[in-house]
Structure 1
Amino acid sequence: METKEWFTEWFNTPYYHILYKDRNDADAQLFMKNITEFLALPKTTHILDLPCGKGRHSVYLNSLGYKVTGGDLAENSISIAKKFENDTLKFKVHDMRKPFNNSYDAIFNLFTSFGYFEEDKEDVLILQNIKNGLNKDGYFVFDFLNVELVKRNLVAKETKVVEDITFYITREIKDGFIIKNINFFADNENRSYTERVKYIDERKLKSYFEKVGFSIENIFGDYHLNSFNSKISNRLIVVAK
């Protein structure tokens, strides 16, 4: 494992937020609305959003009437998220690989925030921590990409200009990871970052969940909660207990 982990560095830069500033909040909100209604979560539910980034899902879940805690490794993101805090919305710096002190009625792991680690056992450890952090009848909602669709539609090279920064992006699937290299010149310096997400298909994911004793209740393929189909689904969304 590299000493400096890519996500610790990249997620903590201002450039990460610039590159992805047009992420679709409407999609995120549609998903949160649909999944909380589908699970019929009572308003007394305490939800942990992990990792929460700058808190966009957390803030929306809180606006639906839920008590929400957001945890993320990136201090930069948490300091932005903290501006939204209120009596029922709190944010804290938390590494998913560390156990939680509290337990929650539901834990959401959203927007491909998983599969960052070299070793499978580290990914499994995170699921174990999540399971240990759930109350008895608590739900775990896991939202990952559909790797098979990614593989089929992989854009090997792309250039994006955001806020006068030209991002040169290359993608490949190598050694069991989907790798995205991002190069750009900003603030008088050439900069280079890499995103690496493990190639976890439905079969492998199920084996992870079985290892920690999660029972899978549903598998969806998009934010409208249509059934998962490895050929066409955008997402691989799992609801477990």
Structure 2
Amino acid sequence: MTKPTKQWYASWFDTPYYHILYKDRDYTEAQNFMDNLTNYLNLPEHGKILDLACGKGRHSVYLNSLGYNVTGADLSEQSIAHAQQFENETLRFKVHDMSTPFPDTFDAVFNLFTSFGYFEDEACNLKTIASIKQELNAFGFGVIDFMNTNYIIKNLIPEDVKTVEGIDFHQKRSVKEGYIIKDISFEADGEHFEFQERVKAFTLQDFEILFEKAGVHLLDVFGDYKLHKYHTDTSERMIMIFK
């Protein structure tokens, strides 16, 4: 039996099984989101974007194809090693802990697809927002795209099995001590694996407190990838624009 020995996100994200489980994510929707977001922000032509927690770089690559100068940063060495094959003069990837400032400034810093709220040390959540503030140039915008926890908790499926590439991923979901938790177990390659995803169940009010402490100003909140208005109970996402 394999259980994680370091922070869950550092161990789980570095396995090939994480990418197998989530291989069916809707990348067309994600690309439309990038189109909508960059148009809304009216970023300068060839503007600089930091894709914070970029994973294997798919969205960094797409943003770069739109003409932006993109840096993808992620804690996962394996993901960055994979992404570096796509590098060019205006696209680069770095291993980086997002709770510390990246040594450059940008027209926009994107933290997408609920890549926030993982830290066991809650002080790191504030440090991440403070770091984003430092990473923005005078005209830059920060974007955190987070799940709408009110909607997620109300529609939580306690247990299911998802079969991908012949692997039965047993998923159990719960809300405990302010975290939304997913326990994942499966058999693969002759071994039994168990992983847990833990994301802090931040509400918009929680983010507003963090933003105030970090000295950034919330400008707008959207409820989906088409940038419709955010509704507390019915929106699936919580997309916050700040500077």
Partner of 1:162: 164
Kept in 1, the 8 Å contact 2:5–2:11? The answer is no
CA positional deviation for 1:64: 0.6
Partner of 1:214: 216
Partner of 1:29: 31
| TM-score relative to the length of structure 2 | 0.96
CA positional deviation for 1:42: 1.4
1:72 aligns with 2:78: no
Q: How many residues align?
A: 240
Partner of 1:63: 65
Query: 1:44 & 1:78 partners in 2: Cα distance?
Result: 23
Unaligned runs of 5+ in 2: none
Runs of 4 or more consecutive aligned structure 1 residues displaced over 2 Å after TM superposition: none
Partner of 2:149: 147
Query: 1:43 & 1:141 partners in 2: Cα distance?
Result: 18
Partner of 2:15: 13
Query: What amino acid is aligned across from residue 104 of structure 1 in structure 2?
Result: F
Query: 2:195 & 2:102 partners in 1: Cα distance?
Result: 29
Partner of 2:90: 88
Query: 1:36 & 1:96 partners in 2: Cα distance?
Result: 21
Partner of 2:239: 237
CA-to-aligned-CA distance 1:59-102 (integer Å, 9 cap, x gap): 11111110000000011111111111111110111111222111
CA-to-aligned-CA distance 1:99-154 (integer Å, 9 cap, x gap): 21111111000000000123432100111111111111110011000000001000
Give SS of 1:238's match.
Answer: strand
Query: 1:190 & 1:217 partners in 2: Cα distance?
Result: 46
Identical-residue share of aligned pairs (%): 51
CA positional deviation for 1:3: 6.5
CA positional deviation for 1:214: 0.7
Q: Aligned Cα RMSD in Å?
A: 1.1
Greater shift in the superposed pair: 113-122 or 169-178: 113-122
| TM-score relative to the length of structure 1 | 0.97
Query: What amino acid is aligned across from residue 235 of structure 2 in structure 1?
Result: S
Query: 1:233 & 1:87 partners in 2: Cα distance?
Result: 38
CA-to-aligned-CA distance 1:203-231 (integer Å, 9 cap, x gap): 11111111101111110000111110011
Which residue, out of 101, 104, 122, partners 1:102? 104
